[in-house]
A = this chain, B = another copy of it.
Amino acid sequence: MSEKNELGRENLCQAPVGVFDSGVGGLTVAREIMRNLPDEKIVYFGDTARLPYGNKSKDTVIRYSRQIIRFLKTQQVKAIVIACNTASALALEEVEKEFDIPILGVLKPGARVAASVTRNKKVGVIGTESTINSHMYDRFIQAQDPEISVYGKACPLFVSLVEEGWLKDPVTEEVARRYLDELMRQGIDSLILGCTHYPLLRSLVQKIVGEKVTLVNPAYETAKELERLLEREGMQNHAGKADPAEGYRFFVSDAADKFKNFANSILPYDIETTRKINIEEY
């Protein structure tokens, strides 16, 4: 299935960028795009009716990603950022082939940074079960430098602990110690926070792994990669905006209010409206 991008070239630059995630976590990526590419409009979709993706199969995550991309195309987006590590790991290769629109994931940017910061060529990756089992971070890091050893560890409790709000709790610290112990014994000197929820545990993780281990958050580098892509394709928006928050639209598949509250706590602008759609129809 190949779908044509229906935007005329003249409107392309002013079209929004589509960003999606299984839920709210991808807002940490949207925030970096807002900070670094302030002229770009964003249409964000959070699949709150079907989250989380991290324990679901490749087939299912591909099917969900396809539906979301079809929806984002109805919003006339010029490019799409998969802000979810699991969907980037399991679905990006497939949907890139199917859709005639530039699509970026968060894994390649994260892998590139990790490969550049490691000194001893030992990189750790933490993420969901599906992300770690896919070994896609390993592949992308070793494409940068085949001598790098990559040590992955799934941390399934982290998302629930973040959502419970126990960010600096002794329970979370004990869980993190148990998860990270194995990676530390391997002697890693850099660690990819391979799930969009994990940057919220950054200070706790840093405390456990110590200052000598560099934490890599793919969100910032993904925004920079988007910038290069838009430049390369001649799709940058130079029109400017009257108001910085202009042109940000938010959609979810479930419980719009809950999403709005969370979004307002992490974004630099207050979200006025969040619309709920039935993603299964796409």
Contacts and interface: CB of A to CB of B under 8 A. Distances in A.
Interface of A: 48-50, 55-57, 59-60, 63, 156-157, 159-161, 163-164, 170-171, 174-175, 178, 253-255, 278, 280
A161 B174 CA distance: 13
A163 B171 contact: no
Contacts of A59: 254
Contact of A160 (B48, B49, B157, B174): B157
A60 B255 contact: yes
B56 A255 contact: yes
A51 to B, nearest CB: 8
Given A49-B60, A157-B157, A171-B174, 13 more contacts: A48-B56, A50-B50, A56-B254, A56-B255, A57-B254, A60-B254, A60-B255, A156-B163, A156-B164, A160-B160, A171-B171, A171-B175, A174-B174
Contact of A280 (B160, B178, B280): B280
B156 A160 contact: yes
A255 B55 CA distance: 10
A252 to B, nearest CB: 10
A178 to B, nearest CB: 8
A56 B259 CA distance: 11
Given A156-B164, A157-B160, A157-B161, A56 B49 contact: yes
A47 B94 CA distance: 24
A57 B255 contact: yes
